[in-house]
Structure 1
Amino acid sequence: MGSFLITKRANGEFLFVLKAGNGQVILTSEWYTTKAACDNGIESVRKNSQDDARFDRLESKNGKPYFNLKATNGQTIGTSEMYESVAARENGIESVKKNAPDAEVKEDL
């Protein structure tokens, strides 16, 4: 089972990562100014991860495939790692779809 892990920077900002059942990070959020906003971001991932149209399939300047998960308003709510192939990126998207809805939330504050 996957999990969300919330961390806090020294300046008080919060970030979450979504980890697959094997512990690999599959999605990283932006930095949020409040924990409540971070919690809302997690709920947005749960909701939007079930809609394939919310995944922007992109390529970095060095040619590595990656993806962004976007909310209904078009704002990016999470970014993947850089993958070695398009197939690996698709596997990452499927992992987010599978893990996000029921992932437990952990905190490392």
Structure 2
Amino acid sequence: MGTFVISKRFDDHYKFVFTSRKGKTIFTSPSMELKMECEESIEAIKTNIEKYTYVKARAANGKYFFKMMLDETVIATSRKYTTPLLLEKGIDEIIRTAVKSDVLDFTMNEFVFPD
């Protein structure tokens, strides 16, 4: 099962990534000003996964990627894949597991292993 991970960028904006069950990033959201925006976007993805479209493209280096879109809005951009088959597997993992995925929040900037 995949996992949504919310984190803070260096510019104090927030983002979330969706990772596969093996821990590989599948897609990353754009920057958001508030953590609540990330939480709302994740909830929208989980409840309306069938409404999203996946626009496939090829990068200048020849690798494949997709943009997850709702209407004309880019919700997330995938990592780069070496083959079209791996790209399809990434999309399939989102469709199959996003609804039941956990959400992890790593925005507190607290040291995980205190003295």
Instruction: Work out whether the TM-score is over 0.5.
Output: yes
The residue aligned with 2:62 is 63
The residue aligned with 1:30 is 30
The residue aligned with 1:9 is 9
Query: Do the aligned residues in 2 keep the contact of 1:28 with 1:79 (CA within 8 Å)?
Result: yes
The residue aligned with 2:98 is 100
TM-score by length of 2: 0.83
**Structure 1: gaps of 5 or more residues:** none
State the shift of 1:48 in Å.
Answer: 4.7
1:42-91 deviations in whole A, cap 9, x for unaligned? 1232245334x6111111122211111001x3111111111111111111
Query: Do the aligned residues in 2 keep the contact of 1:45 with 1:77 (CA within 8 Å)?
Result: no
What's the secondary structure of 1:100's corresponding residue?
helix
Give the count of matched residue pairs: 107
Distance 2:49 2:85 in 1: 18
Distance 1:48 1:70 in 2: 12
State the shift of 1:29 in Å.
Answer: 0.6
% identical aligned pairs: 28
Rg larger in structure:
2
**Structure 2: gaps of 5 or more residues:** 108-115
Consecutive aligned runs of 4 or more in structure 1 exceeding 2 Å deviation? 9-12, 43-51
